[in-house]
Each structure stands twice: as structure tokens, then as C-alpha cells.
Amino acid sequence: MTATSLKFRKMNGLGNEILVVDARGTKTIFAPDALRSIAAHPATQFDQLMALYDPQTAGTESFVRIFNADGSEVGACGNGTRCVGWALYTDTGKAKTRIETDAGSLAISVDSIERITVDMGEPNFDWEAIPLGEEFRDTRAIELQIGPIDAPVLHSPSVVNIGNPHAVFWVDDVADHDLGRFGPLLEHHPVFPEGANITLAQVVSSTRVIARTWERGAGLTKACGTAACAVLVTGARKRLLAREATVNVPGGDLQIAWTADNRILMTGPVVLESEGQLKISELEGA
């Protein structure tokens, strides 16, 4: 019998709204206009939609496609991956599992709904891989600024790819800057040919940092897991942070560690808000 609807779980990771949709056993196509419509509905509102498909590689539980609220597709979402980990745990009872995304294979470990750890893979600091629109050999600080040339408001961001492009601006106080104003300008700056997630980071100590993010394709967000990872690894490269620290986002705290073997581990909670069904015909924009 052909499925006519797909189960969804509406969840959040520190306030980052996530819709986990189980499309396993189907070849459902998520149309951009349908995604935007679903994201606009209060019952299914999301920052990112995590679509679970049948695994493509042995040893993985699911291949996951990730969509933003504007209908665009991205390679990684840390908070969404934690939500997927909890959903798979409740389905299978497996505390340790592995999923596959366009950004690679990710291992997930569930201790409780309050503590889920995702191996986010390896950071890529190469300018071509981020990607940047021009060559910068040292991506710890690239030439980019907003404001007067002699007194820029923001300048010299650190850049990295964590499954998607990130730019981190180091500031004295995140509250002093209107990220809602500068975020969209920087997201679409020519130096970022594929756009970028824009983060302001305020170092409190070597093991604590405050971060605020304008998320590519989603806007201001209460939490962006990959941005928290970007803050930690770029801060460690600049010797502003230790290789393990707490990253405070508007929704709460994430624990990020950059291991000796170059893996990024992100630990944090998720919340299950509701469950329901989505009609496949509506998802495909029919």
C-alpha cells in the first residue's frame, strides 16, 4: 500500500525549531514552495526540516536531507541532528547510531533527552572549500568589514566550513551590534558565493563564549549548532578559546569540544513539542 502521509515530530534544540519528517520507505520530493508553506504554519513552523530517508550506506540508520524555512537545502544542522538522534533513539532504542548527510557521516550518542552528543566531523579552513569568492590563505581573519574604513563596525571575521559556510566576527559585546540589520547584508556578500552563516562572538573566558547568529536561509536564530562549532574551532585557532568550551546562545548552552584527532563534538538537549502527519501531496506541492 502506498503511503499518503508522513509522520513528523516538531522539536527544538535550544529554541531552534526543527521538524523531523520520516520519509523512509518513500521517495518523497520536498518542493521549495511547499516547504515555505509548511514553515509558515504555526503547527509545523520550523527553522530547519530534517527529512529522514532510507540509508544509502551500510552501518547508517538513515540518509538525512536538510531544508531551511526558505526552501533551500543545506548540508548540516547541528541542533537538527540532535533532534534526529532522539527521534531514532525513540524508534529503535539504540543509544548510539549513525546517520548520513550531504556533509558526511555523523555519529550520535544519546545519554538522555537533556544530553545528546553529535560528532559533527572535521572543520575545513581552506578558502576554496568554505567557499570564498577570492583567495585568503589565512582564514583566521579575512579582509571584510562593515562601516567606515577608518572605524568599521564589524571586521576581520574568522571563516570555516562545518558542513556549511560560517563567518565569525569577534566583538567586545554581542548586544552592541544589530545583527538583524547586518546579518542579511553579510550573508549575501560577494565574498561568500554560496552565502554564509554570520555569527557574533564575545569571549568571556577561555572556556566560555557568547554567540549570536544570523543563519543562512533562516535569519536570526535562538541556536545554531554548526555556528557554535564554528565559534569554538575558530576561537581555538586564534588562541582565544580552549579546545573545549561552553558556547552560550539565546536558547541556552552548548558544550563543544575539538578533539585531538580533529573531530568536533557538540552536546546539548532537545525538546519534543508535538507529533503529527503531513500529506505527501502537500509536501510535493501537488
Give the tens place of pLDDT for each residue, 110-138. 999 999 999 999 999 999 999 999 999 99
Clarify whether residues 242 and 275 are in a common domain. no
Which pTM value belongs to this model?
0.91
Judge whether 139 lies within some domain: no
Confidence of residue 281 (pLDDT cuts 50, 70, 90): confident
Amino acid code (one letter) for 66: I
Q: Residue 9's domain spans which residues?
A: 5-121+270-283
Clarify whether residues 255 and 277 are in a common domain. no
Clarify whether residues 182 and 256 are in a common domain. yes
Instruction: Write out the DSSP string of 38-60.
Output: HHHSTTT--SEEEEEE--SSTT-
Clarify whether residues 107 and 204 are in a common domain. no
Clarify whether residues 53 and 14 are in a common domain. yes
State the cell numbers at 30.
520536498
pLDDT over threshold 90, residue 177: yes
Cα–Cα distance measured from residue 160 to residue 233, given in angstroms and rounded to the nearest whole number:
9
**Overall average pLDDT of the 216-233 stretch:** 94
Q: Three-state SS for 117?
A: strand
Q: Tell me the sheet residues that pair with 261.
A: none
Judge whether 133 lies within some domain: no
Number of domains in the chain: 2
| pLDDT of res. 170 | 98
pLDDT over threshold 80, residue 184: yes
Clarify whether residues 117 and 155 are in a common domain. no
Instruction: Look at the block and give the residue holding cell 508535538.
Output: 274
Domain harbouring 184, CATH code: 3.10.310.10
Closest of 154, 124, 150 to residue 139, by C-alpha:
124
Is the CB of residue 200 less than 8 Å from the CB of residue 171?
A: yes
pLDDT over threshold 60, residue 286: no
**Overall average pLDDT of the 19-38 stretch:** 95
Give the ranges where 132-267 is alpha helix by DSSP (H): 179-187, 225-237
Clarify whether residues 51 and 117 are in a common domain. yes
Judge whether 131 lies within some domain: no
Residues annotated catalytic, as ranges: 77, 224
Judge whether 136 lies within some domain: no
How much of the chain exceeds pLDDT 70, in percent? 99
Which stretch of DSSP H or E encloses residue 181?
A: helix 179-187
pLDDT over threshold 60, residue 174: yes
Render pLDDT for 254-265 as a digit per residue (tens, 0 to 9): 999 999 999 999
Clarify whether residues 274 and 258 are in a common domain. no
Confidence of residue 2 (pLDDT cuts 50, 70, 90): low
Q: Three-state SS for 120?
A: coil
State the cell numbers at 76.
548540516
| pLDDT of res. 150 | 85
Render pLDDT for 142-162 as a digit per residue (tens, 0 to 9): 999 988 888 888 999 999 999
